[in-house]
Amino acid sequence: MRVVHLHRIAGIGGSERHLLTLLPALAADGLEPAFVGLDGDGDPAPFYAELERTGIPYRAASVPGLRRALSAFEPDLVHTHLVHADVFGALAAGTTPLVTTKHNDDPFRTGPFRFVERAVTRRARAVICITEALARFQVEHVGLPREKITVVRYGLDEPPPAWSADSPLELPDGARVLLGVGRLVPQKGYDVALRAFTELRVRHPDALLVILGEGTERDQLEQLGRELDLGSSLLLPGRAGDVTAWLRRAELLVHPARWEGFGLVLLEAMLAGLPVVASRVSAIPEIVADGESGLLVPPDDPDALAAALEQVLADGALARNLGESGLARARNEFSVERMARATAAVYRRVLS
């Protein structure tokens, strides 16, 4: 079975890391996966370099050349990911059976764009949602038919390998690193983390808040850091080529998202044995068991976030227990093999 995955590539984020894990796993399961990347803003080179290491065949394409790029692989099925691939893939795939994966619950999908989502879904034979929460969102707020939806959660067996070397960043001796990893956009709620950290650093002057990523909110976060007088205790070093090294260095992961399709970094942190403090929204409670593998707090609540961070920093035994439980949960419930087999089962059902 030859399945071509289609995604617009502009770097390596959560959905891209998912594909770098899923495609080799599908090949190991006996399928013939291939990949077509739509041209996008940003730098796609690191993604293609990682994909090449896995041995998965791929092509890059512009929208006008998409039909030719897909047909070159003679696919039995086309699998699209995210908005651009969903729309252009539905047009370019011709009569080839189509599967689409929904990766997030962006609020814009509940506005006029929901009619586009519904049209694309009529063309698709099956819809994969990466969590139960996302499936409910698609049915209740976007209006997709429940009978087409199958939940297949992300899988990961180990923290991500480095895809490039990071520039050296010297940290003070004994610094306690609170780590955030994600795009610098309002969705991720890092402004809430900065406000919570203002209160926390009074009791923990050796604490550093390090947020890895880039995005449209960088200037606002830097300005907020100055207004809160965070100084050198806030670091925004940009994207990291070696996220795992940071996960190993940090004391906890802070993830105050306002909504979240999955939050792959949560799983990466758990696999690194790192306790997680996150907001109780969307799919996050499906990933992080509150009080067992992390602590969950209401969104947009800096006081609650600060209290949870303080709880983990002040109690070494609690931090160890959360980290150990998170590691066990990640290994038991989010394996790559489980994800690949469930995805292949969707393909076989569609083609039968």
Residue 168 has pLDDT above 90, yes or no: no
Kindly report the CATH class assigned to 2-155+335-351: alpha beta
The CATH class that applies to domain 176-333 reads alpha beta
Distance CA 99, CA 121 (A): 9
* pLDDT tens-digit series, residues 275-285: 999 999 999 99
222-251 confidence digits (pLDDT tens)? 999 999 999 999 999 998 878 899 999 999
Which residues fall within 8 angstroms of residue 60, CB to CB, at 6 or more apart? 9, 36, 37, 39, 44, 48, 69
List phi, psi (to 5°) of 180.
-120, 140
Residue boundaries of the structural domains of the chain: 2-155+335-351, 176-333
pLDDT tens-place string over residues 50-104: 899 999 999 999 999 999 999 999 999 999 999 999 999 999 999 999 999 999 8
Q: SS3 sequence, the chain?
A: CEEEEEEEECCCCHHHHHHHHHHHHHHHCCCEEEEEEEECCCCCHHHHHHHHHHCCCEEEECCCCHHHHHHHCCCCEEEEEHHHHHHHHHHHCCCCCEEEEECCCCHHHHCCHHHHHHHHHHHCCEEEECCHHHHHHHHHHHCCCHHHEEECCCCCCCCCCCCCCCCCCCCCCCCEEEEEECCCCHHHCHHHHHHHHHHHHHHCCCEEEEEECCCCCHHHHHHHHHHCCCHHHEEEEECCCCHHHHHHHCCEEEECCCCCCCCHHHHHHHHCCCCEEEECCCCHHHHCCECCCEEEECCCCHHHHHHHHHHHHHCHHHHHHHHHHHHHHHHHHCCHHHHHHHHHHHHHHHHC
pTM of the full structure: 0.85
Check if 2-155+335-351 and 176-333 are the same fold.
Answer: yes
The band of 165, judged by pLDDT with boundaries at 50, 70 and 90, is low
